[in-house]
Structure 1
Amino acid sequence: MSILPLLLFILYYSLGFAAIFFWRKKKIEPDQLFFQGIWLLVAVVLYTGTLEILKGSFYFLIPLLFFFLFYLIYRKNRARLLNGVLFQFFLVIFGLYLLYNFYLTKDWLIAGLFFAALAVFVLLVAFGLIGLLVFLYWNAIVVLKKETHTIANLLTLILAIFLTVYLIANYFLKSKSPWYIEIPFTFLSIVLVYLLANFVIFLTSTLLYQFYYPKYNQDFIIVLGAGLINGERVTPLLAKRIDRAIQFYQTQRSKTGHPIKLVMSGGQGPDENVPEAVAMKRYACEQGILENDILLEANSTTTYENMCFSKELIENQGIVNPRVLFVSNNYHIFRAGMFAHQAKLPAEGIGCKTAFYYLPNATLREFAAILLMHKRMHLVLLSIVAMYYVLSTLVYLFH
């Protein structure tokens, strides 16, 4: 193996690592891990490309083309599940390319990268379900201690119990059961695999949506409501949303001076004394925001209505092609972005952080909500599978 490509890799990876470190160091949200991860992928492609060019081939262009396809579609609309599908597909293509590159070049750095990724995958498959169960039970205990015992806050516990029962039944019953139990059980297994695949796509799409860094030239920031304490005070969760909007508002005013208004969006629920937007405005004013810089949208009861009614309010301000952001918790901004797209509101979301223990339940709720948004498609696909198993059973019985 020639030492020159390896030295080149060390050189341009080190330079890129240092450049990204100092570039992101002074940012409000450095996200070093994300940007360094992207650079590592780029550096690997540059390295493998160098090896290939020395061998007279150019197959490294294939994963690059898939990545650029993903990126173009992602840039056009960041809030869709197709982004997760394309990114996962890119990772598969990239893994296959690394395997081919090792076959072509016999370079052990490439082999190390490939087998490290393969080892992680094997460990996830072998121990992922056990680890998931341990994590779900642990999270359920923490949530039960810190939150109210509502169905929404018990999702991790319900999922853990269901998976435990399923695994026990799968081990003890399936192989020894008659056909009329085995076939439905197999169908249930397929449904679970289908849901798992959709969850991976959803999670990938949600994570990709987090990495957005808007310019400080926005005209409006919509803050999405989230319930009140005693019907009149913002909750800690809602306060974090408002604080995130205030942070951006103040940074823009100090950096560029571009005028910006906060749109407090939230109607009045049956158990609330005032509209959420009014309580949100009161909180923002207590943090030093000028009252004239706050607009109220106090009629919405859903995230979709948040987007529709806020859009109407913004259009009435008379700004041509306004630049708009919205703020919600990081687990919610992907679905909120889907609603913004449906409402034809050209806005992207920035998220505020959520307590780690709260994320699993919140993520499961978001996943369930997105499944319901596409329920027809899922029902059609699962119905086709169910029909196949019904026909298979009839053939088995009457053969």
Structure 2
Amino acid sequence: MLVQPLYFFFGFSLLILAGGIFAVIKEPRRLYSMAFVLLGAFFTFLSLLVWAAEFSWAGNLPQLILITLLAIPLLGYPLLTLFLLSNGVLMVRRESRTGGNLLSLLFGVVMLLAPLLPVLLGVAHVPAAGINAVTLTGVGLALYLGGIFLVFLCSAWVYRSIPPRKTADYVIILGSGVIGSTVPPLLAARLNKAIELAGDHAMLIPSGGKGSDEDLAEGVAMARYLEEYGIPPKRIIVEDRATTTKENLLFSMKLIEEKSNVLVATSDYHVFRTALLTRDLGIDATVRGGRTAFYYVPSAFIREFIAVCRDNFKLFAVVPGLWIVLNVLILVSGIIGS
């Protein structure tokens, strides 16, 4: 009987789950908090599934649930591939063909071709040991990155669902580029969200410097937009030097009185990475986002995920590095043994 060990495993799983939920409530701007929530939820579900299999009253239910769970990735993979490819084509038609805008198409192509890699290696007469090593390495890395992406996705969703705890004294608006001196729709959505967050009293800080292809600083262009929409100039403080999100936050905070309640307005896909950055900079602020066209979100969100991985490269690279080294050692030992 597995009942007694399952009691321990079930209790341990609940402890992980409870600890993760507590960590998310206390500080939702941490990735590891959601990692514990998902890990605890998975272990709890797994223990309940095994527990149910131990009792006759459950019948074939555990097996059916297990088959369903296995079917999800088998069906989900081609559907996700098709979605990314179609979204990528739509992005090519509607947006500029920059690297960031083509990410959904690129990932779709990679997912389409990845299953063919072992076949191509076989055609190239690569030894079976080499094919196995490449396959194991690829599957392991895909599962790891998929897990981190799931943590990032769930963290972003939970963070966006938490209402601001306080009324804003200041609202920082992150710039995203202007066309000459015109505010484009993406930036207009941020400004409209800021107007909504500010209410009738909060000060607004449009933040952004002047790019090489812009006629004036983003902060100035945004201030003009706010004035056109009825915000009195006395409630606008322009920050016109920042060139990155980090500078947006740091330069804007220098214009804010101490012990003020701060909200940050950006695009919806950019909310959680900005929230992570506010925590890293020691800024007590809540981040909210303006709506973005649905077709634009997949590439933009993938870009945000890549940026988070870049910002935490040393931490995130440990497991893939060890996994690659392990598979190389297995390959070498197999070659030597043969």
Distance 1:296 1:118, change over 3 A: farther
Out of 165, 188, 205, the position equivalent to 1:239 is 188
Out of 94, 102, 108, the position equivalent to 1:160 is 108
Tell me which amino acid in the other structure corresponds to 2:285: A
Offset at 1:164? 1.6
- Alignment partner, residue 334 of structure 1: 272
- Alignment partner, residue 222 of structure 1: 172
Distance 1:302 1:117, change over 3 A: farther
Tell me which amino acid in the other structure corresponds to 1:339: L
Could you say what the CA RMSD is over the residues aligned between the two structures, in angstroms?
Answer: 2.9
> Relative CO higher for 1 or 2, CA cutoff 8 Å, sep ≥ 6?
2
Question: Are the equivalent residues in 2 in contact too, given 1:340–1:346 (CA < 8 A)?
Answer: yes
Out of 267, 276, 299, the position equivalent to 1:361 is 299
- Alignment partner, residue 197 of structure 2: 248
- Alignment partner, residue 4 of structure 2: none
CA distance, structure 1, for counterparts of residue 114 and residue 189 of structure 2: 38
CA distance, structure 2, for counterparts of residue 266 and residue 300 of structure 1: 5
- Alignment partner, residue 139 of structure 2: 189
- Alignment partner, residue 139 of structure 1: 87
Distance 1:106 1:244, change over 3 A: farther
- Alignment partner, residue 375 of structure 1: 313
Answer yes or no: is 1:393 the counterpart of 2:335. no
Question: Are the equivalent residues in 1 in contact too, given 2:10–2:48 (CA < 8 A)?
Answer: no
Offset at 1:285? 0.8
Tell me which amino acid in the other structure corresponds to 2:308: I
Per-residue CA deviations over 1:61-107 (Å, capped at 9, x if unaligned) read 87765444223211332222113202212321442465477579988
Out of 384, 390, 393, the position equivalent to 2:322 is 384
* Secondary structure in 1 matching 2:289: strand
Answer yes or no: is 1:311 the counterpart of 2:260. no
Question: Are the equivalent residues in 2 in contact too, given 1:267–1:300 (CA < 8 A)?
Answer: yes
- Alignment partner, residue 13 of structure 1: none
CA distance, structure 1, for counterparts of residue 68 and residue 292 of structure 2: 27
Unaligned runs of 5+ in 2: 1-6
* Secondary structure in 1 matching 2:205: strand
CA distance, structure 2, for counterparts of residue 191 and residue 61 of structure 1: 30
Structure-to-structure mapping, 1:45-84, within 5 angstroms: 65-84=15-34
Question: Are the equivalent residues in 2 in contact too, given 1:261–1:293 (CA < 8 A)?
Answer: yes
Tell me which amino acid in the other structure corresponds to 2:171: I
Answer yes or no: is 1:291 the counterpart of 2:233. yes
Out of 265, 277, 299, the position equivalent to 2:219 is 277
CA distance, structure 1, for counterparts of residue 329 and residue 27 of structure 2: 41
CA distance, structure 1, for counterparts of residue 71 and residue 173 of structure 2: 41
TM-score, normalized by length of structure 1?
0.74
Offset at 1:233? 1.3
- Alignment partner, residue 290 of structure 2: 352
Question: Are the equivalent residues in 1 in contact too, given 2:278–2:285 (CA < 8 A)?
Answer: yes
CA distance, structure 1, for counterparts of residue 57 and residue 245 of structure 2: 52
- Alignment partner, residue 264 of structure 1: 206
Structure-to-structure mapping, 1:122-137, within 5 angstroms: 122-137=70-85
TM-score, normalized by length of structure 2?
0.86
Distance 1:183 1:301, change over 3 A: same
**Percentage of identical aligned residues:** 29
CA distance, structure 2, for counterparts of residue 344 and residue 328 of structure 1: 19
Offset at 1:127? 0.5
Question: Are the equivalent residues in 1 in contact too, given 2:266–2:288 (CA < 8 A)?
Answer: yes
* Secondary structure in 2 matching 1:233: coil
Offset at 1:381? 2.8
* Secondary structure in 1 matching 2:306: helix
Distance 1:365 1:116, change over 3 A: farther
Tell me which amino acid in the other structure corresponds to 2:38: Q
CA distance, structure 2, for counterparts of residue 65 and residue 379 of structure 1: 28
Question: Are the equivalent residues in 2 in contact too, given 1:174–1:185 (CA < 8 A)?
Answer: no
Tell me which amino acid in the other structure corresponds to 2:242: S
Distance 1:391 1:199, change over 3 A: same
Question: Are the equivalent residues in 2 in contact too, given 1:263–1:296 (CA < 8 A)?
Answer: yes
CA distance, structure 2, for counterparts of residue 126 and residue 183 of structure 1: 22
* Secondary structure in 2 matching 1:297: coil
- Alignment partner, residue 85 of structure 1: 35
Question: Are the equivalent residues in 2 in contact too, given 1:261–1:295 (CA < 8 A)?
Answer: yes
CA distance, structure 1, for counterparts of residue 154 and residue 73 of structure 2: 18
Offset at 1:366? 0.6
Unaligned runs of 5+ in 1: 1-56, 254-258
